[in-house]
Chains A and B, each alone.
Chain A
Amino acid sequence: MFNDTVVKEIDDIKSRYPDRKSALLPSLYVAQREFGWLSSEAMESVARALNVPESVVRGTATFYAMFRHAPAGRHVIQLCTNVSCMILGAEQLVDFLKSKYGLTPGGTTEDGRFSLVIMECIGACGTAPAMLVDTDFHDNLSEKRIEEILEKYK
């Protein structure tokens, strides 16, 4: 269940839209932030908070790629492997993450520290390869740089 601040936040989101269903996506973001992933409980909480049927919440949540339906690590790495990044070695970086941290695409490290998601272009082709760690943006990646960056995320 949501705590009071979250309920208030969702109420605030609700007030921004003419129709409760429109508030669904932002509310799901909030739920994902609060629970780390969208568990049945999280989706039920959203359904109850917005008073929309649970089936609608589930249908929407499973449609979008940005919602997680399994527990993720504390930090989520989203690495681009689209054309520019690929040319500049993003695929070697995927291998590096695997050998160094044991991270496979879609997987989580054993200590629950990182999850890796392969994503499509994040609009940083000029400074490729690029990735997001949680919501922070990092570009001009190399194996060494990744190591340095990930040091900061415990």
Chain B
Amino acid sequence: MITLTINDKEVSLDRPMSVLEAARQAGIKIPTLCYHEALKPYGGCRLCVVEVERMPKLQTACTLTAADGMVVRTESEMIAKVRRGILEFLLINHPLDCPYCDKAGECELQDLVNKYGATAGRYREEKRKVPESHKDHILTRNMERCIVCTRCVRMCNDVQGASAIAMMGRGGHTRMEPFSSASFNCEYCGNCLSVCPVGAILSRLYIHSFRPWQVDTEVETVCSYCGVGCSMVVQVRDDLIKRVVPRMGLGLNRGLLCSRGRFGYEYIHSQDRLKTPLVRRNGKLEQATWSEALRHVAERLTGIKKADGGSAIAGIASARCTNEENYVFQKFMRMACGSNNIDSLSRAGFAAAQKYLEELLGQGITANMIEGLKNSEVILVAGGDPGTVNPVLGLAIREAFRRGAKVAVVGHARGLERFTSIRLTPPLFREEEFLEELLAGVSRVRGLRGEKLDVDRGIRAISDAYPGISGLEGFDELKHALLDSPSTSIVLGSGLVQHSRGHRAIFAVAGLTYLLEARLYLLAERPNEQGLIDMGCVPEMLPGGRPLNNHDYTRKFEEAWGGPIPEEDGMTLMEIMEGAKEGRVRALYIMGDNPLVNLPGGPLIEEALKALDFLVVQDMFLTETGRMADVVLPAVGWSEKSGTYTNIERRIQLLRKAVGNSSGMEDWKIINDVSGMMGYPMAYEDAESIMDEIARVSPLYRDLTYREIGKGNSLWPYHGEPLRGEIHELPAAVNGTGSYTANFYLAPEKVLFHSGTTSRHSQALMRICPEPVLRIGPAAADTLGVREGDRVKVSTSSGSGEFPLSIDRTISDNRVLLSNNFEGSGVLRLMSYRLDPVTRAPGIEGCEATITRL
């Protein structure tokens, strides 16, 4: 215990910290400029000087470690004089354009000068003149205002790890510059923007459009872009979102955001939003009133249900919608339509992996805190790039790497390029064999655990089939690192799941997790992929992950829902599509997704949707799928509705309404109304009343209320009962491998700046990354004789497209990457698929492509 005296106040510390932190803990404010809680102390601005007894000179509180018995004074005449002097020096070059500068009102320098500074400057000479830089699409640099606290550079280097900006020059001419000198050309996380104490870095999104005190409301909410679920504050003026800012210490992201979260909010106010419901009349989508449209939906669905039974109706839920909406959706499908055909596009990734992992290792196996990654000694990343799919989770891995953890990457992960200790490049599309080999190697040394007999049996089978040694570079190093590590994390991305032998990779990862007692993380591209499964938007499970085939579980739901739950087995996503094509499924209700673009096998999906008698699409925008629909219903988006999201940690977080000027309706409300017209009234008042019902009917969510969720600590397993011991008989592994000898293979790229339907309506994100780019390795570029920026034609068996080409040094094999996030040019449409027999996920590996230069 360290006890020191600050301003005659005794302060006791439970851990070593600086005098500054000790003072803050005791509620004593010491002014700072270069200090920032997210960064390491720097001692550059000298404003935090304090007097310490028996120290002859003033000390900087941020760099001085508090010692027992220290007597510190934070205010005195001497200190005030020093601070006044420092501020006067800073104002020599800092322009007094506060009335013009957007930072005024939340400017730290302004506040400090107001409190400690001189009222008039004595410096009469010319100030430094540096023209403001507008070259970048997103960030404006005004280096006249820069006070060289270096917070931005330290943030970029030490926390974000992008190292995209530097302090150039020295003395009075020091300025921050992006090293590509024109635009920032970085990850556009904007964290430099949020740590700048003055108006030297400003966002172009809201520049000059409001002053900080003109914000009407501030709403704490959760990001709508990926499964990490970063907390953020939405600032609103006149019912328009003015900006999204993080708040230090708030949520699991602790003040950090990524480009999508920070700059991707503009889609809410997009001109392209659907304004009224659309109903197809005489082959054309025409505007209709809400009551017309809803009645039409109810009548058609009732008709089809009467004619062909509930199983002719299918529903696709969305990982973009809240838990409440997904709950209402599956209840509607099961009770009002009488069908278990409910699935989501998450089946092509997260849901497939999660369901199989839970069957193997029990519910909640992926419920690990992201914070835990930072304390891991070895991190194995396979099947995806956390740096682009879940950027803030990627930051945790980068932090672990800087701390000295071993980060092993299987395959290609651009965001971890400079943060990889062991890079493993198994043959393309045969990563599952590598993982099985690794599992065999580990199990030879570690032995079986004997807790889960089915899993043990599977591991034994694998270790019998493989020698457990591999000539692959890095294999032994990784194996030994894993065996020696006291704390291991495994991060699994959807790249390995979207594979016709994906279940083998998942089993190998599950086996490693089990043997090494590792923490397992599943990357999630959408905000509520976990909640979607938990709410029962999968054919075989009810909310809380209760299996449908067990009457003990179903009885309770039947009582609460007032009717029998259909017994017929439901279809999974691709089966629904195939069923639609064959005419078994006649009506499809899609809530908030765009299967035409987001699923492989474009021609088949299009055929399937065309073959449907009745297609309903609920979305914010008229998507490609919406254009084929019979009824399109405008929904509202993030920040226009309340609800909850479950993130990849299985933390339930509250989404709060911030603006409400759109003409759409909440998804749950639309379904609520349709259901009422179909003779199954639900009568929910608001999202909270839905959560109350969920907490009542599902044992997993017992006693969960918005009040509690709002505190941000609703962590697995809440107060409920997770399901345990539901291991199924192990599916027979599919043996054999494919042979991959083509010149190029097309694979989907996850872009840092986009995630699909919503991001492409955000102008800022479109400015950063305006079009899909074909990424290709340098070796492949040489063989093709193409250069950066050339336009090329990519053809596969399913179609072709033309794209500009970019050479990516991080690609070392013959894969070519193309993103799927732009209108009308999705990569998935160019790919065909083969279903994985176990997870039922569409496997898209080995898509041969030919590339020709135009």
Cβ of A71 < 8 Å from any Cβ of B?
A: no
* B850 CB-CB contact with A under 8 Å: no
Q: Judge whether A138 is part of the interface by a CB distance below 8 angstroms.
A: no
Q: How far is the CB of A13 from chain B (nearest CB, A)?
A: 21
Asked if B179 is at the interface (CB within 8 A of a chain A CB), the reply is yes
Binds A, one of B167-175, B210-218, B238-246, B816-824: B167-175
CA of A55 to CA of B185 in the docked complex: distance in angstroms?
A: 12
Of B157-165, B268-276, B747-755, the segment with at least 4 beta carbons within 8 Å of chain A is: B157-165
Q: Closest residue of chain A to B170, judged by CB?
A: A63
Contact of B168 among A53, A54, A58 (CB under 8 A): A58
Write out, one digit per residue, whether chain A residues 92-126 have a CB within 8 A of any chain B CB (1) or not (0): 00000000000000000000000000000000000
| Total residues of chain A contacting the partner, CB 8 A | 8
The reply to whether A55 and B157 contact each other, CB–CB distance below 8 Å, is yes
The digit string for B128-162, where 1 denotes a CB below 8 A from any CB of A, is 00000000000000000000000001001100000
Q: Is the CB of A55 within 8 A of B165?
A: yes
Whether B163 pairs with A55 at a CB distance below 8 angstroms is: yes
Is B166 an interface residue, CB under 8 A from the partner?
Answer: yes
CA distance A54 to B156 in the complex (A): 13
CB distance from A57 to the nearest CB of B (A): 8
Interface assignment of A18: CB less than 8 Å from any CB of chain B: no
| Nearest CB in chain A: distance from B555 CB, A | 61
Q: Are A54 and B179 in contact (CB under 8 A)?
A: yes
Which residue of A56, A62, A63 contacts B163 across the interface (Cβ within 8 Å)? A56
Given known A54-B163, A55-B179, A56-B163, contact A62–B168 (CB-CB < 8 A)? yes
Question: Is A58 within 8 A of B169, CB to CB?
Answer: no
Nearest B residue (CB) for A60: B166
Chain A neighbourhood of B418, CB < 8 A: 53
Specify the chain A residue showing the minimal Cβ separation from B169: A62
| Band of interface residues on B | 10 to 19
Q: B491: shortest Cβ distance to chain A, in Å? A: 24
Residue of B nearest to A52 (CB): B163
How far is it, in angstroms, between the C-alpha of A59 and the C-alpha of B148 when the chains are bound? 13
Contact of A53 among B157, B167, B170 (CB under 8 A): B157
Give the chain B neighbours of A62 by CB distance below 8 A.
168-170
Within the complex, which residue of B153, B156, B169 is in contact with A63, where a contact is CB–CB below 8 Å?
B169
When the two chains form the complex, which single residue of A56, A58, A63 contacts B157, counting CB atoms closer than 8 Å? A56
Cβ-closest chain A residue relative to B181:
A40
Alpha-carbon distance between A56 and B166 when the two chains are bound, in angstroms: 6
Which chain A residues lie closer than 8 Å to B164 at the CB level?
55
Interface residues of B in 483-518 (CB under 8 A from A): none
Give Cα A55 to B167, complex, Å: 8
Please provide the chain B residues from 165 to 202 with a CB less than 8 Å away from any CB of chain A in the complex.
165-170, 177, 179
- Give complex CA distance A113, B160 in Å: 46
B153, B164, B166, B177, most chain A CB atoms within 10 A? B166
List, in ascending order, chain B residues with CB within 8 A of A54's CB.
163, 179
Question: Distance in Å from the Cβ of A33 to the closest Cβ of chain B?
Answer: 22
CB distance from A37 to the nearest CB of B (A): 16
Residues of B contacting A63 with CB < 8 Å? 167-170
A59 to B181, CA, bound (A): 12
CA distance A58 to B163 in the complex (A): 11
Check B163 against A53 for contact (C-beta < 8 Å). Answer: yes
Among B163, B165, B177, B179, max chain A CB count under 10 A is at: B179
Closest to B174 in A: A63
Closest residue to B179 on the A side, CB-wise? A55
A37-56, CB under 8 A of B: which get 1 and which 0? 00000000000000001111
Q: How far is the CB of B423 from chain A (nearest CB, A)?
A: 14
Residues from chain A with a CB closer than 8 A to the CB of B157 are: 53, 55-56
Chain B residues, CB < 8 A from A55: 153, 156-157, 163-166, 179
List B32-60 residues whose CB lies under 8 Å from chain A.
none
Residues of B within 8 A of A56 (CB): 157, 163, 166
- Expressed in whole angstroms, the Cα–Cα distance for A34 and B850 within the complex equals 43
Query: B170 — which chain A residues lie within 8 A by C-beta?
Result: 62-63
Query: Once the chains are docked, how many angstroms separate the CA of A111 from the CA of B163?
Result: 39
Can you show 11 pairs from A to B with CB atoms below 8 A apart? A53-B163, A54-B163, A55-B153, A55-B157, A55-B164, A56-B157, A58-B179, A59-B153, A59-B166, A59-B168, A62-B168
Interface residues of A (CB under 8 A from B): 53-56, 58-59, 62-63
Q: Which 3 A-B pairs have the closest CB atoms?
A: A53-B163, A59-B166, A55-B166
Q: A55-B153, A58-B177, A63-B170 are in contact. List 6 more A-B contacts (CB 8 A).
A: A54-B163, A55-B166, A56-B157, A56-B163, A58-B179, A59-B167
Give chain B's interface residues, CB within 8 Å of chain A: 153, 156-157, 163-170, 177, 179, 418
